[in-house]
A = this chain, B = another copy of it.
């Protein structure tokens, strides 16, 4: 059985998230209340649009990592709640701006905010949520957490600009691609986990370990996302198969296929992704080429590798419910293939 099939074989991939969901259940209730109250405004458009996003079925994996990491480090205060809400707001702001930049029509199986309220509102409400995220961080008062999250904020935007500048560029190397997703996706996972150690004044070793855990789970998460976009299993993610293809995004399955491609295949990629001249049947053809070069399978393999790195990074923490929950969450981000 090949790896993709193995990963897809699990009957219920979200079972791997159960231990983390249980661990952070009470705190996430409070996080959700804070998210709703911080999205309030006299300007009706703000809570309307924010509620659309908040209720759109995201799993809130990033804030759960913050709560889980803080608990694993023995945190007993309340700051992790507010910081977790900040992390989710940063993520939501990024989604809003991403959809504008990518001209996406759908988000998690629903119409994207920009399709319902327009690009202008999406840009500005994203700015508002980012501002609220920083206000909450300031309220917690940890300069260490502020440092990590503000750096993440810059790095995410930098990664997005890089991706924009490199969009439709088939000469993108695997290394370059990994650098982009380290910035645009893994940086927020890394920061979300790391602040658990910061809140508890753990030493630099624990802080670095949680950062490594977050970076690697983020990489695994993004690579599975990339693979899903070319697999029949994407519906469960609320994603339309072929979104990346239609937007001309150069993701790892494309990088691998192009590198190994025949002259005819390269011409196909140039026509579809670079020139955007996509015809009926092209997506199916793209998937065929990827299968021929084992590109989807190898993208998953790399995700599995980063997943292993993520799990190993937690070895320095004492065994227990929290560590197990964070380790199982890695399996979840990979098992989403199903």
Contacts and interface: CB of A to CB of B under 8 A. Distances in A.
B135 A151 contact: yes
B138 A154 contact: no
B44 A165 contact: yes
B156 A131 contact: yes
Contacts of A23: none
A101 interface: yes
A121 B101 CA distance: 8
A52 interface: no
A278 interface: no
Interface residues of A, number: 41
A164 B41 CA distance: 14
B97 A158 contact: no
B101 A120 contact: yes
Given A123-B123, A143-B141, A146-B146, A134 B162 contact: no
A45 interface: yes
Nearest to A94: B127
A292 to B, nearest CB: 33
A186 to B, nearest CB: 16
A138 B132 contact: no
A224 to B, nearest CB: 24
A138 B165 contact: no
B41 A120 contact: no
Interface in A92-119: 97, 100-101, 119
The 3 A-B pairs at the shortest CB distance, nearest first, are namely A131-B154, A131-B153, A128-B157
